Amino acid sequence: MTPAALPRTRALATVALLGLLTACGGQNPESDSAALSQSDTRRSALAATGATRTEAFRLLNQASFGANASTLSRIQSVGTAKWIDEQLAMPAQDVHRTRWLAADAAIKKGDPKATAGNNEVISSIYERALFADDQLRQRVKLALSEIFVISLIEVSGTQAEMAASYYDMLGRNAFGNFRTLLQDVTMHPAMGKYLSHLRNQPADPVTGRQPDQNFAREVMQLFSIGLVQLNPDGTAKLSGGLPIPTYDQDDVAGIASTFTGFSWYGPDTSKPRFFGGDPAYADPNRYGTPMQGYPQYHAITPKVFLGTQVPAQKVADPDASVKIAVDTLFKHANVGPFIGRQLIQRLVTSDPSPAYVQRVANKFANNGNGVRGDMKAVLRAVLNDKEARRAGVASGERYGKVREPILRVTAWLRAFNATSDSGKVLIAPTSDAATELNQTPLSSPSVFNFYRPGYIPAGGEADAARMTLPEMQITNETSIAGYANYMMGVVQRGIGPRGEDNLGERPDMQPNYTAETALAEDPPALVTQVFDKLLPSSPSATLRNEVLAAVQAHTMPPKRPDDSNALARDNAKARRVQTAILLTLVSPEFIVQK
C-alpha cells in the first residue's frame, strides 16, 4: 500500500467503526418481518432444499469463521437447515491439549528446561478455526470461551496446557447438555486456578478464614443466572419499578462453601497434593483432568443458597455438594434466557428482540422431548430462527452485530484460501490496541470478557435506543487506527511469525491472491471479485465507487515488448489487489455482520 492510500484507508476505517455509535434506529426486528416481500418468503423457503448465495454467506458469517467457496457451495446445495444439522452431527475432537503436549515434547528435545506456552494454544485455536470441517463447533467454542471466561493472561506459560485442555472441554460440550457443560467448567483446573476455587478451604472460626467467594460469585453472575431475575424473554422482572436481584451476599457465601475441598487430580487426596508445590505429588495429567475432592478440606456445615440447602454432612462429600449446587443453578428459570441471549449475541445479532430470546429460551427449557439444556436444540433455535434467516429482518437498522476483530481476520484468511508455510498455522498474540487487533483468542483481560453482553455505547442513537452493542466496548480511536494499520501490513505480507524460530523469509500464514492478481488490469472485475469473497451481498454504490477509485489510482504501466518492466507491472498489480482487499476489510459492509 502506498503512503498516498493511507489517509483514505484510515478515514474509511474511522467511519466504519465510529459510525456504528449512531447508525442504529429504534425499530424492532419483529416489525420488519411483517414487511417481508414475496421474494423474501420464497428465498426463506429454500432453506430446506437449497439456499441462495446471500443466504449461505449470511449463515457462514454467523456459524463459522468465514465463508469460502466450498462451504458456500455446500449450503447452496443442501440449504441452511440441513447444513446446520450436518454440522451438529460432527463429532468433537480433543486436539488442543494434544498439540500443546506434542509441541512441548519437541521443544524439550532442544532444551530440556524450555516448555511450550501460550502461543501454542493460540496457534491451535486458529488452526481449527481456519481449517476444521466442523466450523459450527469451532465458532460455538469461541462463543463459549467468551461466556465461561478463563484467560491465558493468568493461566499461562507451562500452565497453558490447562487452557488448551479447557478449550477442548468447551468443544466437547458445545453440542451436549448445558448441565454437563456447567459441571465441567466448575471442575476444570483451569477455572479452578483462574477463579481461585482450587485449594479452596472451609471457614475456620479460630483464624477467621472464609471460603474464597470468587468463583461462587461469577458462576452465578456470569455463567448461569445473571444479576437480576428475568422473564422468559430476557427482560428484567421488576418490583416497584426496579429489577429484582437474583441473589444476595448470603447466597454467595452459601454456595462458596460447596466449592471447598477441591484441588489437583491425582491418585490420592493427601495434604501435599491438595496444596501442590511438591513435584513428587504433581500428577502428569493434573492439567487435563477435572479437579478432585479432598474431604478433609470440605465444609460439612449446612450450605444455604438460592432457596436450596445442602444438609450438614457427617462425612464430608464435596462431590455431592457440588452436584446440588450445579443442579440448582441449572434448574433456575434465568438460565435459558440469560445464556440464550448471549449465544444470539455472539453468533447473530447484538440486540435481539425479546421474542427471539424467548423462542430460544423455550428450547433451552424443553427441546421438544422433555429435555432441558439441550445445546443442539438451543443452537438450532438460534440459527434457524426467522430473525436469523429472513433477509427482511436483517435489513432493519437495529439488527446485526459488529464483527469482533478475531472474526475479521479469520474471514479474510478463509476467503483467500490462506496456507501455512510451516503447516502449523503460527499466529502470535494480537492484543495491542494501537498496533494490532485489541483481541487474542482465550486472552480476555478479565473474567468479564473483552466486552460485556449488556454494553451500550454512551451517547448517540444507540444510547437513546438502549441498544446493546458489546463489541463496541473495545472500539475506540486507538483500536480503529490500530486495526486499519495492522490489516494494511498483513494484507501485504501475511500474518504470524516468520516460522517457528521467527527467522524465516515471510510470515507463516499466506493468503492466495492469484485469482485477484489475474484481474488487476480490469479494476471493475477485480473489485467485484474481492466483494464476492468478503461480502454476503452487493455493496453500496458508495463503497464500490470508493474502492474502485482507489484501485484505479494505482497506475498500471503498459507492458513493454521485451517485458523489461515486468517487476514494475507485478508491483502495480499487487498494489491494486491489496488496496481492494484492505478497503473492503475496513468497510462498514464487512465490519458489520447483518
Closest Cα partner for 305 from 236, 213, 199? 213
Mean pLDDT calculated for residue range 300-319: 97
CA distance 140 to 136: 6
Given a cut of 50, whether residue 188 has pLDDT beyond it is yes
In a domain, 500, yes or no: no
> Which candidate, 350, 332, 347, 377, places its Cα nearest to that of 232?
332
Q: Which of 9-23, 288-302, 463-477 has the lowest mean pLDDT?
A: 9-23
Whole domain around residue 546: which residue ranges? 513-594
pLDDT band at 15 (very low <50, low <70, confident <90, very high): very low
pLDDT of residue 49: 77
Q: Which residue has the cell 483451569?
A: 190
With cut-offs at 50, 70 and 90, classify the pLDDT of residue 538: very high
Question: Does residue 64 lie in a domain region?
Answer: no
Residues 552, 580: contact at Cβ < 8 Å? Answer: no
* Domain limit, last residue, from 331, 364, 392: 331
**Does a structural domain hold residue 554?**
yes
Least confident interval from 22-36, 380-394, 420-434? 22-36
Residue 583 lies in a domain: yes
Strand-pair category, 401-402 with 262-263: unpaired
pLDDT at 43 over 90: no
**Nine-digit cell string for 434:** 494501537
Q: What does the pLDDT read at residue 517? A: 98
Phi first, then psi, for residue 500 (nearest 5°) are -65, -30
Rounded to a whole number of angstroms, the CA Rg of the chain reads: 26
**pLDDT confidence tier of residue 5, bands split at 50, 70 and 90:** very low
- Cα 5 to chain centroid, rounded: 32
For 98-115, write each residue's pLDDT tens digit.
999 999 999 999 999 999
Angstrom distance (rounded) from CA 59 to CA 44: 12
Asked if 55 contacts 47 with a C-beta cutoff of 8 angstroms, the reply is: yes
pLDDT band at 47 (very low <50, low <70, confident <90, very high): low
Cα atoms in the Cβ-side hemisphere of radius 13 Å centred on 558 = 2
β-bridge pairing 242-243 and 303-305: unpaired
Question: How high is the mean pLDDT of the chain?
Answer: 93
Does residue 320 fall inside a structural domain? yes
Decide if pLDDT at 465 tops 50.
yes
For 548-562, the pLDDT digits (tens) are: 999 999 999 999 999
**pLDDT tens, residue by residue, 139-169:** 999 999 999 999 999 999 999 999 999 999 9
Residue 345 lies in a domain: no
User: Is 37's pLDDT higher than 80?
Assistant: no
Task: Indicate whether 25 pLDDT > 90.
Answer: no
Is residue 290 within 8 A of residue 185, CB to CB? The reply is: no
pLDDT digits (tens, 9 = 90+) for 72-95: 999 999 999 999 999 999 999 999
Least confident of 37-41, 145-149, 379-383, 505-509: 37-41
Domain count across the chain = 2
The predicted structure's pLDDT at residue 527: 98
The model's confidence at residue 336, banded by pLDDT at 50, 70 and 90, is very high
Q: Does 541 map to a domain?
A: yes
In a domain, 89, yes or no: no
**Structure confidence at residue 395 (pLDDT):** 87
Domain boundary among 297, 331, 365: 331
Looking at 279, 307, 331, the residue that finishes a domain is 331
Q: What is the pLDDT of residue 205?
A: 93
Report how far residue 502's alpha carbon sits from residue 428's, in angstroms, rounded to the nearest whole number.
11
- pLDDT(39) > 70: no
What pLDDT is attached to residue 10? Answer: 44
Q: Is it the case that residue 32 has pLDDT exceeding 80?
A: no
Helix axes 375-384, 80-89, angle to 10 degrees: 160
